[in-house]
Amino acid sequence: MATVVTPSSAPSLAPAALRSRLAEFRAMGLVALQLAVLGLVIAGLRIESPAFQTRVVPLAFGGALVHHFLPARWRPWAFVALSLTGFMLVFGGVGTAWFVLLATVVLAWLHLPIPYWGRIAGWAVMAAGLGAARAGLFPVPWPGSIWPVFGSIFMLRMIVYLYDLRHQKGPTDWKMALSYFFMLPAVVFPFFPIVDYGMFKRTYYDRPALQIYQTGIHWMVRGLTHLVVYRLVYQFFTLAPSDVTSGAELVQFLLANFALYLRVSGQFHLIVGLLHLFGFRLPETHRFFFVASSFTDLWRRINIYWKDFMQKVFYMPVFYPLAKKRGEAVAIVVGSAVTIFATWFLHSYQWFWLLGRWLFTMTDVLFWVLLGVFLVMDSLRERKRGRARPGSPETKTLRYQVSIGLRAIGVFTIMCSLWGFWNAPTLAEGLNLFRVDSWDWRATGLLAAALLAVGFGAGLAERIRPPAHEDRVPPTMWKSLRTALPILAIWATSFAAVGERLPDEARGVLRELRVAELNARDAAQLQRGYYEELVGVNRFNGELWNVYVQRGSEWPNLQELGGLRQTGDLLRAELKPFLGLMFHGHPFRTNAHGMRDGAYDKEPAAGTHRVAVLGPSYVMGDGVPDGYTFEAQLETRLNRERPVVGPARWEFLNFGVSEYSPLSNLIILENGRVFGFRPSVVIMVSHPADMVTSDHVIEAVRKGYPLKYDFLQRIVDSVKATPDLTREELVKRLRPFDDEILTEVYKRMAELCRANGTRLVWALVPTPAQTTTAARQERVRQIAASVGLERIDLGDIYAGRDEKALIVADFDKHPNVEGHQLIADRLYTELLKRPHLLGARP
């Protein structure tokens, strides 16, 4: 381990030392300022998992500031303690205890005083046993959620550790070994760069501390930028393979597919940047990989840690002796073949530990074979002709930069095609991608623009190429602001406060900056590449994702998330437009009109049959992702199956909002919010809880809102319900009027719909596992019948079903995706029995 270089090792506080100490405090203050902004932006933009945003980032950033002021000898142990605290915060006591126990057994075995190969054999037996358990061949007592993180730590990093153990001189440095296995970010990033153990030890505080921290901050900002760009590519440019029919779509598909790799580089920059805060001055993980000018250049730039791992453990042990005995050309061919085989196998091995199944597809095999061939060809060419090194004068000439640009265009074109092919599930689908019906000027234009950008970027990158390890000088105020301000600006503009004056299109883009996931239905159609599967924990391990989301204890409502605008009147609240939230673990977007729905114009297109759906939180889709609400599913199915003749298209508009009562629905009918969209039918979704509409009135009385309707004012006046009364007293006085209030609300809704030429349908849709009584459900039915409303009754919808399987969670009884599917299917059937509600031609 290198000598620790830090101003804090000053032995006494003589005047010069005091000045130095003050300067150190000032510099750490600037580090703290930048970390605070980074933390704010990570939370604001919801970067990666909730566990990362709310637990690991505050722990790491706060911990790093304390860690710096500890005596140097304590720091590695403090890092281990902090990492274990991170495990505790994410996996809890039981999960962490299993980690520690498994780690203790594995590490104790590896350090037994027996021959090296004996330890390796024992380890192999242990790994095989654990692998069998990972594959589900026998049960294990630890929670399934820890497997991906365990696999990442002990099954891949262990290979490097075992290699170094063989050549280790001197006693084991336990504090560094434990730091290596329990690196804090690993707890939330199962897909982790293969950090080299030797490098990890060697670069520990080998530069002045503040310089290392500043480099780390710089890399985290870069990682954040990659993740934001990734998000925009993901939301706006990715296409499903099935959507690719024209040349322009093919170009878009291939470009976007390759660009999705930005998430890996973004995550790795965050991970390594965060480790810098604790003195681990690790090298870059990625470097201008989109503008690589040859395949060997790409191999050196993309996932550099993997390249180093392969080179150290597989390539050099084969290449070096062979080069001495049989010459460089033979060594290149054999060494590359071994390396590519190991890469292919270990990618599958990594897939197994993270996902629990092996990856074996023909497209995967072919991808690595082709890449191997290109790598060998490039290596042999470089051996013959040589290559310009960074910093050599040749690289500064325009001719060289132009040639680099042209070569980068070639490599980029081949890689985009290979990448698209690689990520196809089958060989046939991979080949089919390239069969397009048409090629027009748009395709040519898009392709030319992308390639020109790559070519220009490659030349420019060569011209401005910074040193490989960008040691940053200790922070100054100006540099701190320069780091903090751009990311703060991205974060700020993504919020309505700044973006309200922008056009709708721009607000739509800014909304997507805040949402990590695609509309889940769209996402399901997309092609999932190797890295896309591994970096998204929510996709590959629901159990681990639940741990990261920490359901139950972190379940803020929409109001707490800032999703509602208080109206200050009887309506109480409405959804804000252009929301982009993660709500109860799912993406939650609203359109320009504040509906949890897609984009709709106010005026329906000719031939469109429009239905407005009104109701409370489960109509809004609390607990399900965008696109999975029952009204959205109903709309999709109708337009897909077209079961009746008549309309060219059906549109179901979601007017559901959390805690809306029948009284809220009456208000939005009366104030024109619903009729402004000219629906042909209004479906008022009714719940047994409608029988306590008086609760809405009670809240209005307590807040002093004008009651707006004469019948409400009369009831309230008759019982002298005033704001100074307790809630219990108001309940006692107003509850007896529930029947009257609901009847009057239903009557007025029917009148309003009649006056606007719209059909009103009352649809009773109970929620699963509900606690409201059957008597309430029956009473609400009777009132709807007495008013003469057209009715759809789904009161028996859950008969014979396990209702607990249809709710979001034990502590949240909203219907889950399956519940919404059930409601959509049943409503579909009921609407078909009433074709006039679907606008069917007689």
Partner 1 sequence: MDPIEQTIKDFILESYLLGADPSQLTADTPLITGGILDSLATVQLSLFLEQHFHVEIAPHETATDYLDTIALIGQLVRSKLPS
Residues of this chain that interact with partner 1 (CB under 8 A) are: 163-164, 166-167, 196, 198-199, 202, 283-284, 287, 296, 300, 304, 308, 311-312, 315-317, 319-321, 323-324, 328, 331-332, 335, 379, 382-383, 387, 389-394, 467-469
Please, which residue, 137 or 398, has the CB nearer to partner 1? Answer: 398
CB of 374 to partner 1, least distance (A): 16
Asked whether the beta carbons of 688 and 777 are under 8 A apart, the reply is yes
Measure the CA–CA gap between 534 and 259, rounded to whole angstroms: 16
Distance of CA 500 to the CA centre of its chain: 25
* Closest to 224 (Cα-Cα) out of 32, 487, 485: 487
Q: Based on CB atoms, which residue is closest to partner 1, 110 or 831?
A: 110
Q: How far is the CB of 427 from partner 1 (least distance, A)?
A: 32
Q: Give CA torsion, residues 159, 56, 270, 555, to 10 deg.
A: 120
* Complex with partner 1: residue 319 or 677, whichever CB lies closer: 319
Residue 700 CB contacts under 8 Å (≥ 6 apart), including other chains: 570, 572, 707
Residue 424 contacts residue 241 (beta carbons within 8 Å): yes
CB of 546 to partner 1, least distance (A): 38
Task: State the residue for tokens 């896309």.
Answer: 532
Q: How far is the CB of 206 from partner 1 (least distance, A)?
A: 9
Residue appearing with tokens 């840690």: 305
8 A C-beta contact, residue 832 and residue 644: yes
As measured in angstroms, the least distance from the Cβ of 316 to partner 1 is 5
Amino acid found at 540: F
Which residues, including other chains, have CB under 8 Å from residue 236's CB and lie 6 or more apart? Answer: 509, 512
Closest CA to 250 of 79, 446, 83, 401: 446
Nearest CB to partner 1, comparing residues 48 and 164: 164
For the CB of residue 469, give the shortest distance to partner 1 in the complex, in Å: 5
**The length of the chain, given as a count of residues:** 842
Closest to partner 1 by CB, 331 or 624:
331
Instruction: Provide, rounded to whole angstroms, the least separation between the CB of residue 207 and partner 1.
Output: 9
Question: Which residue's CB is nearer to partner 1, number 336 or number 777?
Answer: 336
Compute the least distance from the CB of residue 824 to partner 1, in Å.
Answer: 55
CA distance 565 to 591: 14
Alpha-carbon span 238 to 215, nearest angstrom: 32
Q: Is 688 helix (H, G, I), strand (E, B) or coil?
A: helix
Q: What are phi and psi of 45, to 5 degrees?
A: -90, 0
Q: Is the sign of the CA dihedral 413, 415, 418, 423 positive or negative?
A: negative
DSSP element (H, E) containing 236? helix 209-236
Nearer Cβ to partner 1 (73/389): 389
CA distance linking residue 191 with residue 533, whole number of Å: 10
Closest CA to 180 of 207, 210, 159, 206: 159
For partner 1, the closer CB: 469 or 735: 469
Q: How far is the CB of 379 from partner 1 (least distance, A)?
A: 7
CB of 107 to partner 1, least distance (A): 21
Beta bridge partners of 614: 684
Read off φ and ψ for residue 222, nearest 5 degrees.
-65, -40
**Closest-CA residue to 57 (of 33, 80, 76, 38):** 38
In the bound state with partner 1, the residue whose beta carbon lies nearer, of 166 and 565, is 166
Dig out the tokens for 668 from the structure: 């939005």
- Euclidean distance between CA atoms 299 and 403, whole angstroms: 19
- The smaller minimum CB distance to partner 1, of residues 300 and 539, is found at 300
- Which contiguous run of DSSP H or E holds residue 116? helix 116-134
280 C-beta neighbours (distance < 10 Å), count: 25
Between 156 and 700, CB nearer to partner 1: 156
Closest to 515 measured CA to CA, from 580, 579, 564, 577: 580
> Of 73 and 384, which CB lies nearer to partner 1 in the complex structure?
384
Cα 56 from chain centroid (whole Å): 16
Cα separation, 29 vs 60, whole angstroms: 16
Of 87 and 163, the one with the shorter C-beta distance to partner 1 is 163
Q: In angstroms, give the least distance from the CB of 304 to partner 1.
A: 8
Q: Which of 68, 60, 59 is nearest to 21 (CA)?
A: 68
Which of 149/209 has CB closer to partner 1? Answer: 209
Could you tell me which of 4, 153, 1 has the C-alpha nearest to residue 86?
153
Task: Pick the closest to residue 826 from 766, 742, 773, 769 (CA basis).
Answer: 766
CB 337, min distance to partner 1, A: 14
Between 169 and 640, CB nearer to partner 1: 169
Shortest Å distance, C-beta 381 to partner 1: 11
Shortest Cβ 806–partner 1 spacing (Å): 54
- By beta-carbon proximity to partner 1, the closer residue of 195 and 612 is 195
Side-chain-side CA neighbours of residue 730 (13 Å): 20
Decide whether 166 or 357 has the Cβ nearer to partner 1. 166
Residues 452, 406: Cα–Cα separation, whole Å: 9
Measured from the CB of residue 193, what is the shortest distance to partner 1 in angstroms? 13
Q: Cβ 204 to partner 1, closest distance in Å? A: 13
- Least separation in angstroms between residue 4's CB and partner 1 is 16
